[in-house]
Amino acid sequence: VRSRQKTKPLRRPLERPDEAAELAKQSPRRTLGGARMSEVAELAGVSRMTVSRALNEPEKVKNELRERVLSAVRDLGYVHNHLARSFSSQRSNVIGLVLPNIGNSIFVPTIKGVSDYLRPLGAHLMLAEAAHNIDDEERAVGAFLAQRVGGLILHSREHSPATLRMLETTCVPVVEMGDLPDRSLDMVVGYSNFEAAKAMTLHLAQRGRRYIALATLNKNPVVTERQRGFLAALDELGMANKGRMITVTRGVEGGANAVAFVAEQAPEIDALFCASDVSAVGATLECARRKWPVPERLAIASFNDLEVLRFLTPTVTCLRLPRYEIGQRSAALLMARMHGEEVPAKQIDLGFEILHRGST
């Protein structure tokens, strides 16, 4: 509780020392914080603007004054109010990241990539979830725009008309993480699910596999692209009628079930391409349980590069996807835009790599 001097304080200062506690109980808690910039200015014997400059553009303030300001900041334990700054400057250093599912570890490297890029720039990250559906995304985007974030990263390809309208009218820079090539809002960073799936399918064929199965989750845009890539590869190989697509549930279990399906319903299949999160782990372990030699009886390939895959027996071939880099580059593009820089490429394809290992 600090004393203020105002001619006519509408929000009067507290009179009694215990009044603070009472107030806190009555009304929602406040984010007051400690000293204000004007108090720092007073203590340092300068104007608020000099304090503001000393904090934001130190080089524009003479050494002596800057020292005095910074020491006043320390003495008062002043914490620069970025909320007021954003409000006043109409410019925010917070960005919003919308992910399909915060609970999916697959996105961890991406979040980390974003976070690592933002930190040294003094920017901050807000996280929201849009459970793989357009309306949730609309809510998340709306909430972020309400918070007046300086930029947005969306991990999705589809947006509701209302989302598009909001994005358009607010002119907030947006980066989409997603499949490439893509008709984009503005900037996109990602890799091609089509090309990646195709490349891995070709790899399996090249390793002598004749009957390849693709295991995916229920249809969604990403799954569709991977299926297209898979089919395109088979087509190119003249093996169109030898492919099979199966749908699995999420998790390790899904992969195990896929192997069970092969055993029971489609014994001709000699390669399983697991294009859904951790299913390759389940598939490999299930083969071990059934004492199926991998890759002789069933070759296994994974879409996602999980650390465990390197430690299974046999080690599992997978795609290395640029998940961390996607986070980094998205953040970089966004920050560049937010600082008004020219952004050269509008679509950045970060590619992928096949890590050939024991399972194929």
Partner DNA sequence: TTGTAAGCGTTATCAG
Partner DNA sequence: CTGATAACGCTTACAA
Residues that bind DNA (CB under 7 A): 4, 6-12, 32, 36-38, 46-53, 55-56, 59-62, 64-65, 80-81, 84-85, 87-91
Query: Which of DNA, a second copy, none lies near 147, with the C-beta cut-off 5 to 8 A by kind?
Result: a second copy
Q: Token digits for 102?
A: 């915060």
Nearest partner of 96 among 146, 56, 132, judged by Cα: 146
* Of residues 1 and 240, the one with the C-beta less far from a second copy: 1
User: Which two structure tokens, joined as six digits, stand for 215?
Assistant: 């295991």
Q: Output the CA torsion sign for 289, 294, 299, 302.
A: positive
Nearer to a second copy, 256 or 269 (CB): 256
Q: Which does 50 bind (CB under 5 to 8 A by kind): DNA, a second copy, none?
A: DNA
Helix or strand run (H / E) with residue 170: helix 161-170
Sign for the CA dihedral angle at 221, 226, 229, 235 comes to: negative
Contacts 24+ apart (CB under 8 A), 294-299: 294/358, 294/359, 295/207, 295/271, 295/358, 295/359, 295/360, 297/270, 298/259, 298/262, 298/269, 298/270, 298/271, 298/272, 299/204, 299/207, 299/209, 299/270, 299/271, 299/272, 299/359, 299/360
The partner in contact with residue 4, picked from a second copy, DNA, none with C-beta cut-offs of 5 to 8 angstroms by kind, is DNA
Distances (CA, A) of 103 to 107, 182, 220, 277: 9, 26, 18, 12
The nearest distance, CB 7 to DNA, in angstroms, is 6
Nearer to a second copy, 111 or 246 (CB): 111
**Residue among 83 and 108 whose Cβ is closer to DNA:** 83
d(CA 130, CA 87): 27
The listed partner (DNA, a second copy, none) that binds 295, CB under 5 to 8 Å by sort, is none
Q: Which two tokens stand for residue 8?
A: 């006519």
Return the number of the residue (14 or 240) whose C-beta is nearest a second copy.
14
The entry of a second copy, DNA, none near residue 313 (CB within 5 to 8 angstroms by kind) is a second copy
**Least distance from a second copy to the Cβ atom of residue 248, Å:** 14
Distance, CA of 130 to chain centre:
12
34 to 1, 2, 53, 71: CA distances (angstroms): 9, 8, 20, 16
Cβ neighbours around 117 below 10 Å, total: 21
Q: Closest distance between a second copy and the C-beta of residue 146, in Å?
A: 4
User: What is the Cα Rg of the chain in Å?
Assistant: 27
Least distance in angstroms from the C-beta of 23 to DNA: 8
Task: Kindly state the smallest distance separating residue 153's Cβ from DNA, in Å.
Answer: 24
For residue 41, the minimal CB distance to DNA (Å) is 8
Q: How far is the CB of 302 from DNA (least distance, A)?
A: 48
The smaller minimum CB distance to DNA, of residues 37 and 189, is found at 37
Which of a second copy, DNA, none has residue 291 at its interface (CB below 5 to 8 Å by kind)?
none
Q: Which option in DNA, a second copy, none does residue 56 bind, with CB closer than 5 to 8 A by kind? A: DNA
127 contacts which partner out of a second copy, DNA, none, CB within 5 to 8 A by kind? a second copy
* Angle between helical axes of 279-289 and 252-265 (0-180°, round to 10): 50
Instruction: Find the shortest distance in angstroms from Cβ 80 to DNA.
Output: 6
Residue 70 vs 188, nearer CB to DNA: 70
The residue among 47 and 206 lying less far from DNA, judged by its C-beta, is 47
Coil, strand or helix at 105: helix
Q: How many CA atoms lie within 13 A of 31 on its CB side?
A: 6
Binding partner at 256 among DNA, a second copy, none, C-beta below 5 to 8 Å by kind? a second copy
How near is the Cβ of 172 to a second copy at its closest, in Å?
Answer: 7
Closer by beta carbon to a second copy, 18 or else 307: 307
Cis, peptide link before residue 314, omega less than 30° from 0: yes
